[in-house]
Amino acid sequence: MPQMSMIEAIRDAMDVKMAADENVVVFGEDVGYFGGVFRCTHGLQQKYGTNRVFDTPINESGIVGSAIGMAAYGLRPCVEIQFADYIYPAYDQIVSEAARLRYRSGEQFTAPITIRTPVGGGIFGGQTHSQSPESLFTHIAGVKSVIPSNPYDAKGLLIAAIEDPDPVIVFEPKRLYNGPFDGHHDRPASNWSKHPLGDVPEGHYTVEIGKATTFREGEDVTILTYGTMVYVAEAAVNETGINAEIIDLRSLLPLDVDAIVKSVEKTGRCMVLHEATQTSGFGAELAAQVQERCFYHLESPVVRVAGYDTPYPHAQEWDYFPGPARVGRELKAMMETV
């Protein structure tokens, strides 16, 4: 099986869909001739021409807004927002338009668009290259949100997103583009070529939107997480020796409630872990649901480990980032609670 980085897997997903469906078009800032600042669309314009892969003005609202119009026409736009930190100018188009088109038009018009955007920190990118705004979208009825943590899922979810009849936001943890990252920024970077999840089948396959995966089985506590934090959780587990079950949610909306409930009922404890700021982060929804659904199985409160409620700082990145030490500390503390 070919070995791919997450960037290659993402590119391959678009390639597979563009080859199979001539209605798939790809555009965004610098994605055309240059192939994207992270190179995710590299080579696609050459292969499919400027009619189907092109650069756009620096106007995120226009990227999403024009995609909506194209989708209404019958195309399947897959667009890139260069960094999730720049998605806010498109927020109105996503929330008021893409998310509601089907509902308000009696299903005459729909918006099967895919919005890819790099999220998360760990690249010393400061407040405008590090944000994780997923919960600002999970609150919006009418959009789906997914976030892969490895090349296999990245390709499968992106193909599923492009095929989905409704708008899907694909959050791409940029710190994972080239290799898994466990939060130990001071250690050498690893890359996907040495990782089993870098095995990516050729051609078409999908990862179902709405299904979580058990990244690591365990008995004592469930860690609900996604994106980069999957590896941080793994590191913390290895370093503390706590036998945690790590659930990689992959899809935030719809959410795989069954997988969550099953695991928490087994372990009796739950940590939710994400990079985004804590207050009203997606962890709040997870904690709320877990206590709603597993209350009588819980031996201790659901613990949230998340970004501090500050803008993403630059120099203090490794104090801010919820790394394995912090996660480990919280894990130990919660295992001591009775």
Partner 1 sequence: MSEYKPLKFNVPEPTGRPGDQPDFTYVQIPEAGSVRRPEIDVPATDIKDLATTMIRVMNTAGDAVGPWAEDIPDEALLNGLKAMLRTRAFDERMMTLQRQGKTSFYMKCTGEEAIAIGHKAALMKGDMNFPTYRQQGLLLSTDYPIVDMICQILSNEKDPLKGRQLPILYSARSHDYFTVSGNLGTQFIHAVGWAMASAIKGDTKISSAWIGDGSTAENDFHSALVNASVYKPPVIFNIVNNQWAISSFRGIAGGDKATFAERAHGYDIPSLRVDGNDFLAVFAASRWAAERARRGFGPTLIEWVTYRVAPHSTSDDPSKYRPKEESDAWPLGDPVLRLKNHLIARELWSDERHKQAESEYDEEIRVATKEAESYGVMGAGSSPKDMFEAVFEDLPPHLREQRQKMGV
Q: Does 310 bind its own copies (CB under 8 A)?
A: yes
AA identity, residue 139: H
Q: How far apart are the first and last CA of the chain?
A: 47
Partner whose binding site includes residue 168, from its own copies, partner 1, ligand TPP, none (CB under 5 to 8 Å by kind): none
Quick check: is 297 catalytic? Answer: no
> Among 213, 226, 215, 218, which residue's Cα sits nearest to residue 283?
226
Among 42, 261, 300, 326, binds its own copies (CB under 8 A): 300
The answer to whether 228 and 39 have CB atoms below 8 angstroms apart is no
Q: What gap in Å lies between CA 305 and CA 321, rounded to an integer?
A: 10
**What is the radius of gyration, based on Cα positions, of the chain?**
19
The answer to whether 113 and 158 have CB atoms below 8 angstroms apart is no
> Residues with Cβ < 8 Å from 283, sequence gap 6 or more?
272, 273, 274, 276, 304, 305, 306
| Contact map string, positions 244 to 283, toward its own copies, x by CB under 8 A | ---------x----------------------xx-xxxxx
The answer to whether 230 and 215 have CB atoms below 8 angstroms apart is yes
Q: Does 319 bind its own copies (CB under 8 A)?
A: no
Partner whose binding site includes residue 50, from partner 1, ligand TPP, its own copies, none (CB under 5 to 8 Å by kind): partner 1
Q: Does 86 bind ligand TPP (CB under 6 A)?
A: yes
CB 76 to ligand TPP: min, Å: 24
Among 288, 316, 319, 333, binds its own copies (CB under 8 A): 288
Among 39, 42, 52, 100, binds its own copies (CB under 8 A): 100
Q: Does 59 bind its own copies (CB under 8 A)?
A: no
Q: What gap in Å lies between CA 224 and CA 192, rounded to an integer?
A: 23
Among 56, 66, 82, 213, binds ligand TPP (CB under 6 A): 82
Residues of this chain that interact with its own copies (CB under 8 A) are 85, 88-89, 91-92, 95-96, 99-100, 103-104, 127-128, 135-136, 138-142, 253, 276-277, 279-285, 287-288, 291-293, 295, 298, 300-304, 309-311
